Chain A
Amino acid sequence: MLRRLLEHEQILAGLLLLPTVLILSLFIAYPFAKGIWLSLSSATVGNPGVFIGAKNFVKVWNDSIFQKAAQNTVIYTAIATVFKLGLGMILALLLNHHFRGKRLVRASVLLPFIIPTVLSTFAWKWMFDPTFSVINWTLYYFGIITQRIPWLSDSNLALGSVIIVNVWRGMPFFAITLLAGLQTVNPELHEAASMDGANGWQRFWRITWPLLLPVTMVVVLFSVIQTFADFQLVYVLTGGGPANSTHLFATYAYQIGVAAGLLGEGAAISLAMFPILFVIVILQLWYIRRVEGA
């Protein structure tokens, strides 16, 4: 009886999918639905609250700190992604060459990605320390600077500093994934182009880049989602300061939802990310399909 049932393709498919569906429902669908409910309610810690419509969204929309956090998140994601892609690509191209100790270098490139973010960010916090920064000390020692660089104290530099750390941490992911993509590019194409007189840049732009585009788009997609929702890095480095100059959606949502106990408002800040991410994801997926279909 059971065997007959399992031989039925649809039933078997359903059974095989069931664990995934359950896990997704439990850990993604339920929290998401709960988040939506919270954002539409007056819930605070310990009080379930009542339905208040879009009041939380209106409130955060008019909140100057939220506006600053939204602006920071967009700048943070855009600049970090461009640098991660650019530097990741260069690294991948370099690692695609043959040299001694290649495997060791490839493995060590992944280190920033492997080390727990909180741990590595603490190391960066020390490096950017307003008083004891090793970067400042080195620059000062070699006579490059005469005054400390306020890495985390100056509003603009602070956002720049957290972007640097994000690029450092995220670049290996780009490099390794693009490297995997590079290795699928047929070397004969490059050889043929060389024989036709194409230089290095032309070979990259006409052969490597188009063939690598689908992989690149997928990596960028993942990275944008992760960077947009980043939390740990800013939380550890600056806590959103000075004067909110490094707050992102996630850190501000945490501050409001957890520290101030306003769960409804915190959820609304969190969910404000959703439409923006949704549009980005749709656009990218559409582009990937177009590229793959071409």
Chain B
Amino acid sequence: MKRPDGEGMGMVRMGVGRRTFLKAAGVAAGAAATSGLAGILEAGRAPAFAQGTKLHVLRWTDFIPEADAELKRQAPLASKALGAEVTIEFINVNDLQARTTSAIESKFGADIIQLLWNWPHLYASALVDVSDVAEPIGKAQGGYYDVFNTTSKVGGKWLAVPHGVIGNTVAYRRSWHAEIGVTEFPKTWDAWREVGKKLKAKGRPIGQALGHSFGDPPTFCYPLLWSFGGAETDPSGKKVVINSKGTIESLKFFQAFWKDACDEGGLAWDDTNNNRAFHAGEISATLNGASIYIVAKRQQDKIKDDKGQPLYLDIEHGAPLPGGPAGRFALYVPFQHGVMNYGKNQTLAKEFLKWLHQKENYEKWFEAEGAYSVGSTKMWEEHPMWSKVDKPLRVYQAAARQARMYGHAGPATANATQVYTKYVIVDMYAKAAQGQKPEDVAKWAEGELKKIYE
């Protein structure tokens, strides 16, 4: 098995036992939390939070229900440990920003909010500096993935505590690919187009979401842009460079790729359509998190292939998206927890985050995720879980190392978020898929980006 960035997997120690890992983790945890929970536990008494103190945590409803179930199980344990009542509320991911905005504007709402992507930049003025929590955790647990330096850190301060990264790789049907002589996932876009062409001819197209949806469409389009050398801005983040040869080449490629290899209904797909289409045997491959595999395995009695066998046995997860002339890249979904500055229990909120990241607590959530979300620090690549997860999911083990953030080649500022939320990059490819001239589409995107960045 190859590491997604091309290095061998040998560096990741697979033989670490659970006990050894926990022992090492315990030492690290102690170091991380000397001023936090460990200190409290050492003192043998609950912290001095007033009786009846409540802590409200707002999170998305996870695509892996078992992960939410684990957090629900942990809430009373945290309440007991912290001497306060911890409530975790789960809401639809698409409602998270509306709730965050109304909480910030009304200065009333959850004490801790889960923030996706680079939202700490967007809500910087409403977030508490949590460097005192984030830094020790990062140091003790092998260091955060680079992407968090871009997303959670604003002006040199940690405004959110990194929690995890959701990787996206291509899930594909092993047997269908084998039927056309493909045993290894294509490494280049051109090669994938050829494979997709053969599959589409057999009524088994590649499925790619291109609608206005938060995950799959952008995580496909941005890496495609980068792999052809396209970028939103120069490194300063102030000069728009989207209308480039690289971008136009990527659009030309995509236009042909879409027609030759893809299910053209994908223009209206959101993040759930490709899961359903894959499970129903309508598509041969799709960019996705591990949820297609995990759900197919957990519901193996229901989700079967055309031969009546459990579908998960025929699912392979390729490396990340193929590469282009400029390289091979990935946009993953990093997420973190922010402590809101309107909250009355900011100290408690920080203590809770320390508690959440205690190895023995975090580990259980991490295991429940089953590779859908990986850890926020590199230490979790060495967790014994990886030797237990099914082979197709091991591609996620170190995948987060190569995650880039939107806004590239500039910083991931709030402007980059605006481009993302207006779906300018996604729509650029959607317009190309609809048959508009690549040159015109790149020019359109340039106009939109200039209004935002310049």
Residues of A within 8 A of B (CB): 44-47, 59, 62-65, 128-132, 148, 150-155, 158, 238-244, 254-263
Contact of A261 among B267, B414, B434 (CB under 8 A): B414
List the A residue with the shortest CB-CB distance to B211.
A241
List the B residue with the shortest CB-CB distance to A259.
B421
* A255, B421: Cα distance in complex, Å: 7
CB-based contact B276/A131 at 8 Å: yes
Residues of B with C-beta under 8 A to A238: 211-212, 268
* A244, B448: Cα distance in complex, Å: 13
* A242, B211: Cα distance in complex, Å: 5
Contacting A at CB under 8 A, from B411-445, are 414, 417-418, 421-423, 427, 430-431, 434, 444
CB-based contact A150/B448 at 8 Å: no
CB-based contact B265/A47 at 8 Å: no
CB-based contact A260/B267 at 8 Å: no
Q: How distant is B450 from chain A, measured CB to nearest CB, in Å? A: 11
CB-based contact A64/B430 at 8 Å: no
CB-based contact A241/B444 at 8 Å: no
Q: How distant is A61 from chain B, measured CB to nearest CB, in Å? A: 11
Residues of B with C-beta under 8 A to A64: 444, 447-448
Known A131-B276, A153-B265, A261-B123; contact A239-B211, beta-carbon cutoff 8 A: yes
CB-based contact B427/A258 at 8 Å: no
CB-based contact A46/B276 at 8 Å: no
Interface check B305, CB cutoff 8 A: no
Q: How distant is A38 from chain B, measured CB to nearest CB, in Å? A: 10
Residues of A with C-beta under 8 A to B448: 63-65
Query: Which residue, B126, B265, B447, has most C-beta atoms of chain A within 10 A?
Result: B265
Q: Is the interface of A mostly helix, strand, loop or mixed?
A: loop
Contacting A at CB under 8 A, from B195-224, are 210-213
CB-based contact A129/B427 at 8 Å: no
* A64, B447: Cα distance in complex, Å: 9
Contact of A240 among B210, B212, B444 (CB under 8 A): B212
Contact of B265 among A130, A155, A256, A261 (CB under 8 A): A130
Pairs of residues from A and B, 6 with the lowest C-beta to C-beta distance, nearest first: A130-B265, A239-B212, A152-B268, A241-B212, A46-B125, A259-B421
Known A239-B212, A242-B211, A256-B422; contact A131-B434, beta-carbon cutoff 8 A: no
Residue pairs across A and B with CB atoms within 8 Å: the count is: 118
Q: How distant is A48 from chain B, measured CB to nearest CB, in Å? A: 10
Residues of B with C-beta under 8 A to A46: 104-105, 123-126
CB-based contact A131/B417 at 8 Å: no
Q: How distant is A127 from chain B, measured CB to nearest CB, in Å? A: 13
Q: Is the interface of B mostly helix, strand, loop or mixed?
A: helix
CB-based contact A148/B414 at 8 Å: no
Residues of B with C-beta under 8 A to A262: 418
Contacting A at CB under 8 A, from B137-195, are none
Interface check B266, CB cutoff 8 A: yes
* A261, B123: Cα distance in complex, Å: 8
List the A residue with the shortest CB-CB distance to B274.
A131
Query: Which residue, A152, A257, A260, A262, has most C-beta atoms of chain B within 10 A?
Result: A260
Q: How distant is B353 from chain A, measured CB to nearest CB, in Å? A: 20
Residues of A with C-beta under 8 A to B213: 239
CB-based contact A242/B267 at 8 Å: yes
CB-based contact B430/A45 at 8 Å: no
CB-based contact A47/B125 at 8 Å: yes
Q: How distant is A30 from chain B, measured CB to nearest CB, in Å? A: 13
Interface check B277, CB cutoff 8 A: yes
* A263, B418: Cα distance in complex, Å: 12
Q: How distant is B86 from chain A, measured CB to nearest CB, in Å? A: 25
* A256, B421: Cα distance in complex, Å: 8
List the B residue with the shortest CB-CB distance to A44.
B414
List the A residue with the shortest CB-CB distance to B436.
A243
Q: How distant is B412 from chain A, measured CB to nearest CB, in Å? A: 14
- 18 example contacts (A-B, Cβ-Cβ < 8 A) are as follows A44-B414, A64-B444, A64-B448, A130-B263, A130-B268, A131-B265, A131-B277, A150-B264, A152-B211, A154-B267, A238-B268, A239-B213, A241-B423, A242-B268, A243-B267, A243-B434, A260-B414, A260-B418
Query: Which residue, A254, A257, A262, has most C-beta atoms of chain B within 10 A?
Result: A262
Q: How distant is A289 from chain B, measured CB to nearest CB, in Å? A: 40
Residues of A with C-beta under 8 A to B430: 241-243
* A259, B181: Cα distance in complex, Å: 45
Residues of A with C-beta under 8 A to B122: 45, 260-261
Interface check B273, CB cutoff 8 A: yes
